[in-house]
Amino acid sequence: MSIKASDWVAHYADRHGEKTACVDVDCKISLSYKEMDERACRLASYLTKNCGLEKGDRLAILAYNSADFLVVQQVCVKTGAILLPLNWRLTAPEIAYQADNAEPKILIYGDEFADIAKQVAAEKNIAHTIEWKPDTPDSEFERAVQSGDPDFSPVHVTLDDPWAIMYTSGTTGFPKGAILTHGMSLFNAVSYGIVNHISSATVNLCFLPLFHTGGLNNCINPVFHQGGTVVLCRQFDPGATLGLISDPKLAITNVMGVPAIFLMLSQHPDFDKTDFSRLVNAPVGGAPVPISMHKLWRGRGVALQEGYGLTEGGPAVIISEIDQPLDKAGAAGKPVLHGELRLVDPDGKDVANGEVGEIWIKGPAVTPGYWNNPDANKNAFIDGWFCTGDAAYRDKDGYYYIVDRWKDMYISGGENVYPAEIENALYEITQIAEVAVIGIAEEKWGEVGCAAIVVKPGETLSEKQVLEHCAGRLARFKIPKKLVFLDALPRNAMNKVLKEDLREQLGVGELIKK
């Protein structure tokens, strides 16, 4: 029999209901555990009675970070509905693809995204839409909350039941909806919380978007599991972030980001006068951290904790300790408690220490598969092991180093980008004969896209035309920042583009200076 899932917010609402669960910096409000639980009960009551929300239905949200975003998540815990957090950085066609795949019954959207939300809802026949506006007592969302019954009776939800679908870009050029179960959330919260010292005293600053697993499943849910407090910002701003960290009233203990974020913080004029004395830890992921950055932050009393994860893995897979030696800088750390990990060669055999292999993972925090995508599921698992597509090696002391992507994905500002998706969009340009996209190093974002384009004989094509074509089809972080025009792409005897040869041909080892 499947184990019943627990409602963490409701649990702490009963134990210490007046404790602050969330501080919403932009909306200038805070919710106690009791207040958050009551809002979730009221909204769950309204959505079940007025919109027919049932267990297993998808509940989509397209909105900036806010306390009410977390209320919507709690609705899914209480009703058994499946949260569908939509990436507001995407274009309407990209969001429409996800809606077509997941078929949400309800779409809650921030007023800033009204045009896209209405367009997608009309195209994909989403039955119910609700607009959310901050500081607006008569908004559709607030009226729904206030008209609901605070005595809502939760449905029976098990650890095996899905609680969210998060879309990640796929190597086939189309996003895949990773299924996240309640069990995944629980075991990730435990594993992540142990090594990152999450407790009831934690005050975690979250500026990472909640449509991203790093925001929702690292910055938020492990804290709720322990009854701590989260401080939410809509978006990252270096000066504002340093000010929040210094604020003794907030007393922030934890802050997570990608290397580019910690670089921007260290380069801000207020960095040297910021009070970091209350920070317990600062997890960083998405790319290796250079030793110079480690030394800079340790000089301010902050140890950056490197780690590796992915949506399908909980996301926590490998995390370093706070006191990881500096001579291990660049290492993602060691595997988390509740999970298994292997490094394998192309034949699926385990590799020796020092040899590069693909990361395979298994355990209670690993996705059971992709939503409505049997082909992707078939290719993702081998004998119960999830094949991450990422490559790493393990040193003699058991530390893991992420060295490359087994596939072609690159990470730009913490966002996964798969070249195939960009290549598919570029192939819509009739003048293009062939194209290959690679990730190249860039000072600010870590990596950006470089598109190598071969134009058809007798045709002409300009950089301006390419960028204008991309603007309406791809999110801004996916649009290549560098374009090169070649006579031909390097290929092997099987006609496969040799991207490593392409890198050498283009000489992209140097950082692009802004």
**Confidence band of 330 (pLDDT split at 50, 70, 90):** confident
In the structure, what pLDDT confidence band is assigned to residue 246 with cuts at 50, 70 and 90? very high
How many distinct structural domains can be found in the chain? 1
**Where is average pLDDT lowest: 309-313, 330-334, 414-418, 433-437?**
414-418
Is there a domain that residue 275 lies in? no
Local structure of 252: helix, strand or coil:
coil
- 194 neighbors 28 (Cβ within 8 angstroms): no
Provide mean pLDDT across the span 199-224.
96
Query: Residue 186 falls within a domain, yes or no?
Result: no
| CATH at residue 457 | 3.30.300.30
Quote the pLDDT of residue 494. 37
431 in any annotated domain: yes
pLDDT score, position 300: 95
- Other C-beta atoms lying within 10 Å of the C-beta of residue 473: 17
Please, which residues have CB within 8 angstroms of residue 383's CB and are 6 or more apart in sequence?
none
Residue 392 has pLDDT above 80, yes or no: yes
Q: Specify whether the CB–CB gap between 130 and 50 falls below 8 A.
A: no
Q: What is the pLDDT of residues 248-303, one digit of tens each?
A: 999 999 999 988 789 889 989 999 999 999 999 999 987 778 788 898 999 999 99
Angle among Cα 210, 95, 164 to the nearest 5 degrees reads 45
Question: What's the average model confidence in pLDDT over 83-110?
Answer: 96
332: helix, coil or strand? coil
Is the pLDDT at 323 greater than 90? The verdict is no
Q: What pLDDT, on the 0 to 100 scale, is given for residue 497?
A: 78
Buried b (16+ CB within 10 A) or exposed e, 178-215: bbbbbbbbbbbbbbbbebbebeeebbbbbbbbbbbbbb
Q: Which residues pair with 415 in a beta bridge?
A: 412
Higher pLDDT, 65 or 421: 65
Give the number of residues written for the chain: 514
pLDDT of residue 282: 96
What pLDDT score was predicted for residue 492? 57
Distances (CA, A) of 193 to 187, 319, 337: 10, 11, 10
Cβ partners under 8 Å of residue 347, min gap 6: none
What are the tokens at 357?
């292999």
Cβ 481 vs Cβ 449: under 8 Å: yes
CA–CA dist 15, 10 (Å, integer): 9
Q: Which helix (H) or strand (E) holds 13?
A: helix 8-16
Whether 477 is in a domain gets the answer yes
Residue 434 falls within a domain, yes or no?
Answer: yes
Give residue 55's pLDDT.
98
What integer pLDDT is reported at residue 58 of this predicted model? Answer: 98
State residue 346's pLDDT score: 86
Of 88, 92, 123, 86, nearest to 107 (Cα)? 86
Q: Which residues 6+ apart lie within 8 Å of 108 measured at CB? A: 59, 60, 61, 62, 63, 72, 129, 130, 131, 132, 141
Q: CA dist 354 to 351, 394, 500, Å?
A: 8, 6, 21
pLDDT of residue 407: 66
> β-strands 385-394, 381-382: how paired?
antiparallel
The arithmetic mean of pLDDT across residues 143-172, rounded, is 91
The Cα–Cα gap between 148 and 45 comes to: 5
What DSSP assignment string belongs to 374-438?
HHHHHHHEETTEEEEEEEEEE-TTS-EEEEEESSS-EEETTEEE-HHHHHHHHTTSTTEEEEEEE
Judged against a pLDDT cut of 70, whether residue 161 lies above it is answered with yes
Give pLDDT, residue 352: 98
Q: pTM value? A: 0.84
What pLDDT, in 10s, does the model give residues 365-386? 999 999 999 999 999 999 999 9
If DSSP codes are grouped into helix, strand and coil, which group holds residue 162?
Answer: strand
Summarize the confidence of residues 96-104 as an average pLDDT. 97
Distance CA 76, CA 40 (A): 9
- Tally of helices (H runs) and strands (E runs) in the chain: 16, 25
Conformational region of residue 495, where left means phi above 0, alpha means psi within -120 to 50, and beta covers everything else: left
Structural domain harbouring 475: 410-506
pLDDT given at position 417: 83
At residue 197, the 3 state secondary structure works out as: coil
**Distance in angstroms (rounded) separating the CA atoms of residues 366 and 313:** 4
Cβ burial, residue 10 (10 Å; 0-12/13-18/19+): buried
